[in-house]
Amino acid sequence: MRTEQTMTLEIFRYHPETDSEPYFQAYEVPYDEDWVVLDAINWIKDHVDGSLTHRWSCRMGVCGSCGMMVNGDPKLTCAAFLKDYYPRPIKVEPLVNFPVERDLVVSLDGFMEKLQAVKPYIIRDDVNDTTGGEYRQSPAELARYKQYSMCINCMLCYSACPVAGHEEEFLGPAALALGHRYNRDSRDRGRAERLDVMLAGEAIWGCTFVGECTVVCPKHVDPAGAIQQAKAVAAQEYFKRFVMPRGAKGAET
Amino acid sequence: MKRSGEAFWWALFSAGGVMAALFVPAFVIVTGFLLPSGDAAVAAERAAGFAGLVGWWPVRVALLGVIALSLFHCAHRIRHTLMDLGLRHLSGLLKLPCYGGALAGTVWAAMLLRAL
């Protein structure tokens, strides 16, 4: 419900072609208790300043496009209500731990590379053979990975993670959870080659189980849990080499 | 890509975390508070009973396991904390004082337990 009140949004601004460094710009927006931060940003873009640049799409927590820092916390702005901050001003910044392209828009390149690195698709030799019908899966087999398949790639976990900010080799919460999701899929046969990527260098071992990724995840994926499970698998594989020097690498568990 | 050997240290860290969380508080309560509490003569009797229990070798081996794994848990946590504090480029070198310290502590604990 629209009222006469207003509230202030302090928004991070940076246009690399004209600005030598970023600055904050304050905007007065109408206060509506049904509005989310994204509604207020869209209102500014439509009524006050068309040069304000931000990403958004679905407005309903499905697309994962509108992640930003809201008063220092990584949030989907479509799920952050003005009424939870009113009457204090709200500071809106681009997601931290990512390079800023323009205003509230960050570069996805590094994240996309990490996502692709874990081979987030079903790997098997007979993937094109459809003559045998569909690959069947029991509800129990689906339950093994379903939670980890709910990720919408909103990248809030990368902004919440202190390791993602300073360890370049670390693949990060979303990519590792996604790799783990395919490793647990009964249709998949690519676990060994995926683990080769996940267990190299600091790719997974950079994680010190801070757990903030799970706290901020809007889809309750629990990436921190996925990473710990994957580490336990890695430890099993490590010791299995001594028990079964041959054949352990491709073994399914 | 070559898999990292970190799995070995993480396994010790993980097992040590379980040991430290499950048993160490219980040990502190039993040996630090329950055994010496109350009447001195009764406490001495209890201590003698406890010494008899520790005299049994499987108990000493189990104690050494709990102590050693807890030390390696601690060493791994300290190493990663130091890395987070800016010594990330020394992650390999830090293994020596951290895990070496845990190993030294394990040897010391073994000697103490053996002398009991």
Give the pLDDT score at A214: 98
Give the pLDDT score at A37: 98
The span from the CA of A36 to the CA of A84, in Å, is 9
| Residues in chain B closer than 8 A to A162 (CB atoms) | 84
| Residues in chain B closer than 8 A to A239 (CB atoms) | 11
Q: Kindly write down the DSSP assignment for every residue of A71-103, as one continuous string.
A: TTEEEEGGG-BGGGTTTS-EEEEPPTTS-EEET
* Minimal Cβ distance to B7: which of A166, A201, A235: A235
Which of A196, A208, A237 would you mutate first to test chain B, the one with the most B CBs within 10 A?
A208
The ipTM assigned to this model is 0.80
The two three-digit tokens of residue B105, written as one number: 């502590």
Give the pLDDT score at A128: 65
Give the pLDDT score at A1: 63
* Minimal Cβ distance to B3: which of A162, A200, A208: A200
The span from the CA of A13 to the CA of A17, in Å, is 12
Closest Cα in chain A, distance from residue B82 (Å): 12
DSSP strands (E only) in A14-62 = 23-32
What CATH number labels B7-115? Answer: 1.20.1300.10
The span from the CA of B68 to the CA of A45, in Å, is 61
Q: Which helix (H) or strand (E) holds B112?
A: helix B95-115
B14–A232 C-beta distance less than 8 A: yes
Closest Cα in chain B, distance from residue A214 (Å): 20
Closest among A78, A77, A97 to A158, alpha carbons compared? A97
Closest among A187, A182, A186 to A127, alpha carbons compared? A187
Residue owning tokens 């809201």: A70
How many C-beta atoms lie closer than 10 Å to residue B95's C-beta?
15
* B4 lies within 8 A of chain A by CB: yes
Give the pLDDT score at A129: 66
A199–B3 C-beta distance less than 8 A: yes
Q: Residues of A at the B interface (Cβ-Cβ below 8 Å)?
A: 162-163, 166-167, 195-197, 199-203, 205, 208, 231-232, 234-235, 237-239
A232–B7 C-beta distance less than 8 A: no
pLDDT > 80? residue B103 = yes
B2–A200 C-beta distance less than 8 A: yes
Percent of chain B with pLDDT over 90: 59
Question: In this structure, are residues B99 and B50 in contact, taking their beta carbons and an 8 Å threshold?
Answer: no
Give the pLDDT score at A251: 47
Which of B4, B12, B80 would you mutate first to test chain A, the one with the most A CBs within 10 A?
B4
Walk me through the domains of chain A, giving residue ranges and CATH numbers.
2-106 (3.10.20.30), 109-243 (1.10.1060.10)
- Residues in Cβ contact with B116 at an 8 Å cutoff, skipping those fewer than 6 apart: B51, B54, B55, B60
- The tens place of each residue's pLDDT in chain A, 253 residues long, gives 666 899 999 999 999 999 999 999 999 999 999 999 999 999 999 999 999 999 999 999 999 999 999 999 999 999 999 999 999 999 999 999 999 999 999 999 999 999 999 999 999 887 666 777 888 899 999 999 999 999 999 999 999 999 998 889 999 999 999 999 999 999 999 999 999 999 998 999 999 999 999 999 999 999 999 999 999 999 998 998 888 766 544 444 4
Give the pLDDT score at B86: 86
At B78, the pLDDT band (50, 70, 90 cuts) reads very high
Triad A136, A139, A142: Cα angle to 5°: 75
Closest Cα in chain B, distance from residue A37 (Å): 34
